[in-house]
Amino acid sequence: MLVIVAPGQGAQTPGFLAPWLEDPTFADRINWLSAVCDTDLAHYGTDADADTIRDTAIAQPLLVASGLVAALALFPHPADAFRVIDLAAGHSVGEITAAAGVGVISAEQAMVFVRQRGKAMAAAAAEHRSGMMAVLGGDPEEVLAAIARHDLVAANNNGPGQVVAAGTLEALERFSADPPARTRLVPLQVAGAFHTNYVAHAVDLLGGYARAITTHDPRTRLLSNRDGHVVHDGREVLDRIVTQVSSPVRWDLCMRTMEDLGVTGMLEMPPAGTLTGIARRALRGVETFALKTPDQLDDARAFVEKHGEGGPVEGNPTWRLLVAPTKGVFSLAAEQAAGAALAPGAVVGNVRSGRDDLQVAAPHGGTIVEWLVEDGDPVSPGQPLVRLHPVSAQ
């Protein structure tokens, strides 16, 4: 089982796009996305120094564009990707890359949105002298307690041995002078305390942009940073990306869902290395592939064919699927036979596990075509539960 992942801010390094831009097709696509987001991505991906590409307004479009264009290099015929990809996820701004990659929004929508996201977050971060610091190692409970004691926030929980503390630079300095036992602290190349209330001003602005964007349901299972759940409603995907700006990234829960599903291979899009590095420590037995340069593409395709099975979700314009957000046992809310009409927002049941008890609703309503599970069935994350005709088709 294959998961494709997209890294977040901090993964960029000076010159990482240079080998990719030797391909004229890749260069043309980067130039097109540069025009869309009004940013010279080729320059920033080749000639700019580390301090320049640390700028949030530059780093975020650069990351999303590089991931999307590399995905087209990996899958020249994009429809072929959904034959083999079982799952997709992105870390922080990488969620935009993942959302566009699975068809929730177009590449052009993604680039305009990420440009505004980067600008909004940079402006919000500039209001405070804040930053982020990776805390490597240590006892997890002691690390979280120390972060709270120094008035910091655990902005990213990336799994065992890697938590990111965020807050004011003064608080980070105090934390550095009094670190948790058996830890190593690494300042991150970001411009502010992202995924905290320090950038909350950006959420309302981005929410307005998001409401203007037309979305589609993902064409494969897509994980959310908020809680590791599979989200299959395109509007909810985008709404979650907006609110995630000021909420912690729970990559640890995303990896837990990967374990629940039995992922065997993780391929990271460029600039790759961060998420596969975490996976090597946290997902034992999962093979990883960090796609860094174009000379790896043939090996990457072989990796995809080795691990990819193709998920249960397929795009179809004539019906919608409701899927399980997490692993658990499905319970019907009420008996609803094929042909029954559901109002928008109607709850069809819930999925209960040891960690969650989640309602499953039909956000757009529709007519039940067929049930794909029965009351009391165990379900896996992203498993289709019921097929609906959308209201517009009635």
Q: List pLDDT tens digits, range 235-264.
A: 999 999 999 999 999 999 999 999 999 999
Q: At residue 152, does pLDDT exceed 50? A: yes
Give the mean model confidence (pLDDT) for residues 297-304: 97
Percent of the chain with pLDDT over 90: 83
Residue 391 has a pLDDT of 64
Return the closest-CA partner of residue 150 out of 127, 173, 131, 134: 173
Q: Is the pLDDT of residue 394 over 50?
A: no
Alpha-helical runs (H) found in the chain: 24-37, 41-46, 50-54, 56-74, 81-84, 94-101, 107-126, 140-149, 169-177, 201-211, 234-243, 251-261, 274-282, 297-307
276 pLDDT higher than 70? yes
* Residue 393 scores a pLDDT above 60: no
- Cβ-contact 216, 364 below 8 angstroms: no
Least confident of 119-128, 151-160, 242-251, 292-301: 119-128
Share of the chain above pLDDT 70, in %: 97
Residue 160 is predicted with a pLDDT of 82
pLDDT exceeds cutoff 70 at 267: yes
Output the average pLDDT for the chain.
93
- Among residues 210, 254, 203, which one has the least CA distance to residue 234? 210
Q: Is residue 201 flagged as an active site residue?
A: no
Domains of the chain, each with CATH number or no CATH:
2-124+197-307 (3.40.366.10), 129-187 (3.30.70.250), 320-393 (2.40.50.100)
pLDDT at 315 over 60: no
pTM (two decimals): 0.89
Q: Which of 92, 130, 224, 247 is catalytic?
A: 92
In this model, does residue 317 exceed pLDDT 60?
A: no
Whether 32 has a pLDDT exceeding 70, the answer reads yes
Q: Once rounded to an integer, what is the mean pLDDT over residues 62-74? A: 97
What's the confidence (pLDDT) of residue 93? 96
Average pLDDT over residues 19-43: 97
Q: CA torsion sign, 179 to 184 to 187 to 189? A: negative
pLDDT at 392 over 50: no
Considering the candidates 195, 229, 232, 307, report the single residue annotated as catalytic.
195
In angstroms, the CA 182 to CA 171 distance is 20
pLDDT digits (tens, 9 = 90+) for 89-111: 999 999 999 999 999 999 999 99
Instruction: Give residue 297's pLDDT.
Output: 97
Would you say residue 336 has pLDDT above 90?
no
Cβ proximity of 291 and 268 under 8 Å: yes
The predicted model gives 188-215 an average pLDDT of: 90
For residue 216, indicate whether it is catalytic: no
